[in-house]
Amino acid sequence: MLARDSQPLRRALANLREAIREPNDTGFFCFRAIESIRQHFYEPQDRDTDKPSWERLRNSLRIDRSWIDALTKSYEAGNQRHGKSPYMSGENRVSAMLHTWKVVDRFCLYLDNGAVQLAEEIEELRLN
């Protein structure tokens, strides 16, 4: 039901499916899944900047910026987004997808709770 009512969630799930299907573009599709979720947090007053929507996503889903930044740095998503084809090991592919699934899972919890910020009891996702 959540996916039926949320285009950003449908797109995120479709991108995760492609991350599985396309080993050479896993990082790209993982990051695109999170960017799809970010669209839920976009507001018209943001205009041409995406910084406020990223901040709303991180605050609402209790995700530290380092968690998302890791996809562009550690999992080659940044390079893949810019047309480069760096090697990504099977282990890194699995890690990137699990990393992304945690964000998607939190977005599902957020939607299921009426689009209310996740509770403080939910530990913030951060890389240490």
Give the pLDDT of residue 79: 62
DSSP state for residue 40 in the 8-state scheme: G
Q: What is the mean pLDDT of the chain?
A: 88
DSSP H helices in 39-112: 51-61, 65-73, 77-81, 90-112
Interval 41-60: pLDDT, tens:
999 999 889 999 999 999 99
Q: Region 2-9: what's the mean pLDDT?
A: 90
Dist. CA 92–CA 120, nearest whole Å: 30
Interval 112-125: pLDDT, tens:
999 999 998 888 87
Dist. CA 99–CA 125, nearest whole Å: 10
CATH class of the domain whose range is 2-112: mainly alpha
Domain ranges of the chain: 2-112
Give the three-state DSSP class for 100: helix
Q: Quick check: 71 and 22 in contact, CB under 8 A?
A: no
pTM: 0.87
Dist. CA 81–CA 103, nearest whole Å: 19
Give the pLDDT of residue 41: 97
Interval 15-40: pLDDT, tens:
999 999 998 888 889 999 999 999 99
Rounded to 10 degrees, the C-alpha dihedral 22/36/48/110 comes to -150
Confidence tier at 1 by pLDDT (50, 70, 90) = confident
- Which of the two residues, 109 and 126, has the higher pLDDT score? 109
